[in-house]
Amino acid sequence: MSIEQLESVALAMVAPGKGVLAIDESSKTITKRFKAVKIECTEDSRRAYRQMLLTTPGLGDHISGAILYDETLRQSADDGRSFVEVMRAAGVLPGIKVDMGTTALAGFPGELVTQGLDGLRDRLKEYVSLGATFCKWRAVITINEDSPSSACIESNTHALARYAALCQEAGLVPIVEPEVLMDGDHDIDVCYDVTEATLRSLFGAMYEQNVMLEGTIVKASMVLPGKNCAEQASVEEVAEATLRCLRSAVPAALPGIVFLSGGQSDENATAHLNAMNQMGPSAWPLSFSYGRALQQAAQKKWAANPAANVAEAQQIVAMRAKLNGMAALGEYEPGMEAG
């Protein structure tokens, strides 16, 4: 894929009114989710669930791409078409999570670093042959009294930059995701400082690794107080702080930013995105790459009767995708939730 093609794919991922669906939960994570809704987690039940999501009528109206797990990229729908074929027919770009999860950062108790660089070049070649057009790598930054350390931030942003360079070498657009977790009792100002420091480190590392920003998408955290903070922030405060942080640390050359929901409620994730776009214009399109905030209501409906509730669950998926697509345009209103 040429430089121009990388730029074209990146721009398509943040097309007006569209965002990215994250269905890249590891087998361990989706087992927990299925257990919560009383569904046995098997290879076939995972395939059936993700088939429900990917065959949602009109999915491509508001979803530009979907991040898959390795298993899902290799699976097929009931009609024999690969999921990649299903997605392409719907106008949805196939993506793939390529990191191998987090491990303890040696010398820094309680802090994590993401692994998966070993052998990544060869894995990326295979993913290209399977039809992937973009990838995702997630780093995890935890806030507490003693963290994050500068070593944790730098270790993770260096890995993100190396991953991004390898992706572009293989002709794949990298989504770089430095997630600042909501866990903790820190206030919104602390989250701002940590998020800004992480983003500045990330773009410094990508510059050093010759990553082409025009062919890269950032999956960013919103600037939020910790979920145990006594003083929670309003929608407007979150939107203002997040925009201020991004404008301080993110170069204008980036083609777009998609936000993770990070444990927010469906409605809050949508409202925060909408408020940011209403406060614009920004140097980049601001859109979404939600997992739970696009899936959880539909998953509950599907799990109640997987054989009979597919259409109803898909209606929920389509509605949440539409609401977030409206938020990406700054045209969402809370009253739309009733629809």
pLDDT tens digits along 77-136:
999 999 999 999 999 999 999 999 999 999 999 999 999 999 999 999 999 999 999 999
Q: Which CATH number covers residue 252?
A: 3.20.20.70
**Tens digit of each residue's pLDDT (9 = 90 or more) over 197-231:** 999 999 999 999 999 999 999 999 999 999 999 99
Whether 219 is catalytic: yes
pLDDT recorded at residue 280: 82
Task: Please indicate, yes or no, if residue 315 is contained in any of the structural domains.
Answer: yes
Residue type, 185: D
pLDDT recorded at residue 2: 82
- Pick the catalytic residue from 7, 154, 177, 179: 177
pLDDT recorded at residue 263: 87
Whether 333 is catalytic: no
pLDDT recorded at residue 287: 98
pLDDT recorded at residue 338: 80
pLDDT tens, N- to C-terminus, the chain (339 residues): 688 999 999 999 999 999 999 999 999 999 999 999 999 999 999 999 999 999 999 999 999 999 999 999 999 999 999 999 999 999 999 999 999 999 999 999 999 999 999 999 999 999 999 999 999 999 999 999 889 999 999 999 999 999 999 999 999 999 999 999 999 999 999 999 999 999 999 999 999 999 999 999 999 999 999 999 999 999 999 999 999 999 999 999 999 999 999 889 999 999 999 999 999 899 999 999 999 999 999 999 999 999 999 999 999 999 999 999 999 999 999 999 986
Task: Please indicate, yes or no, if residue 121 is contained in any of the structural domains.
Answer: yes
Task: Please indicate, yes or no, if residue 339 is contained in any of the structural domains.
Answer: no
Task: Please indicate, yes or no, if residue 337 is contained in any of the structural domains.
Answer: no
Overall number of domains in the chain: 1
- Pick the catalytic residue from 18, 136, 219, 301: 219
pLDDT recorded at residue 186: 96
Task: Please indicate, yes or no, if residue 99 is contained in any of the structural domains.
Answer: yes
Report the DSSP pairing between strands 63-68 and 257-259.
unpaired
As beta bridge partners, residue 141 has 180
Task: Please indicate, yes or no, if residue 20 is contained in any of the structural domains.
Answer: yes
User: Domain span at residue 19?
Assistant: 3-332
